[in-house]
Amino acid sequence: MKMNMSDKSILLIIGGGIAAYKALLLIRLLAKKGIKVRAIVSKGGAKFVTPLSVGALTGETVYTDLFSLSDEAEMGHIELSRSADLICVVPATADLMAKAAQGLAGDLASTTLLATDRQVLYAPAMNVRMWEHDATQRNIEILRERGSAFVGPDEGDMACGEHGFGRMAEPEIILTKIEKLLKGETHIDALKPKPLAGKHVLITAGPTHEAIDPVRYLANRSSGKQGYAVARACAGLGARVSLVSGPVALPAPTGVDVISVESARDMLAACEAALPADIFVAVAAVADWRAARTVSKKIKKDDGKLLPLELEENPDILKTICAHEQRPKLVVGFAAETNDVIANAQIKLAKKTCDWIVANDVSGDVMGGDDNTMIIVTKAGATPWPTMSKQRAAQKLALEIASQFGKV
């Protein structure tokens, strides 16, 4: 049944980004459908499109300022926030979404988003690095959890000259999404499939700490960023994620079950306890050795004398899980190498009997850094990926896992 849209209204919040010009095209498309549009142009938005053009296209008063007497006299901000069937933020900048996620209300756009009881649709648009930043992704998770809808962004060339995710969805696509929402269709993003829904993904991340005495331990430089990004990406594709994490200074990704451990042996026990899983991704930089003896009291320094430190080998978690009677169907290991990256990864693949090895060259500042250059090594060969942020690499890996899962 065709629905009459002429009794529907939208409150359009135009954020400050180059994609703001597309909001003008969207207003025209909405007008053609008979949908009434009222608009708020943020301070940044007004640098890209003038409130005059917006007013000319909507035929309505355009609101710009929380503290403007004329704006407030026309319609108070609380009333404005409830005046439409749907609020659309086009373009949704990183700043506007951060404000909305944190509940800030320092200007008219953010106050409206905090005061509203209406469905909100965000059409994000920003530089790829800003889009991929953990802060932005976390804010989006928060907004999504609160029931907000999203359209885009798309992958492509950007106004800033870079290429990647961050291009705002085209006005026609935004219109389709708006119509669906106005018809009351589910706001779960149909454009964003959940290919890992129903799957349990077990992931290890971070370093392990191997105690020498109550204050000293053996460790490595792993930050946990890559493993946490993989966990977030798998959860984003709908998986139930158990993240067994060594000591890191990272917040728990939303919707991920984090099991915090210290040592390699704890990590193995936690992984075994988390089975069965469909997929295992071993990202952790597990310490290869631990102190053969740990003491319960702090070892005293004895001037001039060195501490004899005898080491013994830690269990290989990846190898153990691969040989486990509940072996997950797809097992992915990581291999940090400084030389002969592919050859060493191939040896590791065979030795550990996993399905893939994600090899990375850590001769640069990968450990602790934000970028990664990965090579996906399988029995069939090696596929190098270009250098990209750990977040983006994790998303690409999660998609690869989702698409190959049924085929292994």
The 150-189 site mask, x for binding ligand C5P (CB under 6 A), equals ----------------------------------------
Between CA 227 and CA 284 the distance in angstroms is 7
**DSSP string covering 265-291, please?**
HHHHHHHHHH---SEEEE--B--SEEE
CA nearest 225: which of 239, 207, 210? 207
> Using CB under 6 A as the criterion, what x/- string covers residues 109-138 for binding ligand C5P?
------------------------------
Q: Is 401 helix (H, G, I), strand (E, B) or coil?
A: helix
Residues in contact with ligand C5P, counted by CB under 6 A, come to a total of 14
Judged by CB, which is closer to ligand C5P: 123, or 286? Answer: 286
Residue nearer to ligand C5P on the CB measure, 164 or 224: 224
CB 288 to ligand C5P: min, Å = 6
Q: Which residues, numbered 184-213, are part of the site for ligand C5P (CB under 6 A)?
A: 204
Task: State which of positions 321-340 bind ligand C5P (CB under 6 A).
Answer: 333-335
What is the smallest separation between the CB atom of 277 and ligand C5P, expressed in angstroms? Answer: 14
Q: Within 227-286, which residues bind ligand C5P (CB under 6 A)?
A: 264, 282-284, 286
Query: In what order do the strands lie in the sheet containing 257-260?
Result: 257-260, 240-245, 200-205, 279-282, 330-337, 356-361, 374-378, 381-384
Q: Which is nearer to ligand C5P, 168 or 267 (CB)?
A: 267
- Compute the least distance from the CB of residue 279 to ligand C5P, in Å: 13
Does the protein bind ligand C5P through residue 355 (CB under 6 A)?
A: no
Q: Can you tell me which residue has the tokens 């169907």?
A: 329
160 assigned to active site: yes
The residues that bridge with 182 in the sheet, in sequence order, are none
- For the chain, the residue count is 408
Q: Active-site residue among 160, 271, 322, 354?
A: 160
* Site membership for ligand C5P, residue 348 (CB under 6 A): yes
Instruction: Look at residues 214, 215, 279 and name the one whose alpha carbon lies nearest to residue 243.
Output: 279
Report the DSSP beta bridge partners of residue 356: 332
> What is the closest distance, in whole angstroms, from the C-beta atom of residue 284 to ligand C5P in the complex?
4
Euclidean distance between CA atoms 122 and 272, whole angstroms: 41
Residue type, 319: K
b (16+ CB within 10 A) / e for 172-198: eebbbbbbbbbeeeebeeeeeeebbee
What backbone torsions phi and psi does residue 330 show, to the nearest 5 degrees? -120, 120
- Contact window for ligand C5P (CB under 6 A) among 137-145, 154-162, 192-200, 316-324: 316-324
CB nearer to ligand C5P: pick between 80 and 203: 203
**Token pair of 305 as six digits:** 């004398």
Provide, rounded to whole angstroms, the least separation between the CB of residue 242 and ligand C5P.
15
- Closer residue to ligand C5P, CB minimum distance, 83 or 204: 204
Of the pair 116, 226, the CB lying nearest ligand C5P is at 226
Nearer to ligand C5P, 11 or 330 (CB): 330
Q: What are the structure tokens assigned to 52, written together? A: 């005059």
CB of 280 to ligand C5P, least distance (A): 9
Nearest to 38 by CA among 153, 116, 114: 116
Q: Which of 316, 355, 361, 370 binds ligand C5P (CB under 6 A)?
A: 316
Query: What is the residue type of 204?
Result: T
Interface residue with ligand C5P, options 314, 346, 360, 395 (CB under 6 A): 314
CB of 223 to ligand C5P, least distance (A): 14
Measured at CB, which residue is nearest to ligand C5P?
Answer: 317
- What's the Cα-to-Cα distance from 34 to each of 6, 179, 196, 209, 274, rounded to whole Å? 5, 11, 39, 63, 54
Binding interface with ligand C5P (CB under 6 A): 204, 264, 282-284, 286, 314, 316-318, 333-335, 348
> What positions carry a catalytic annotation?
160
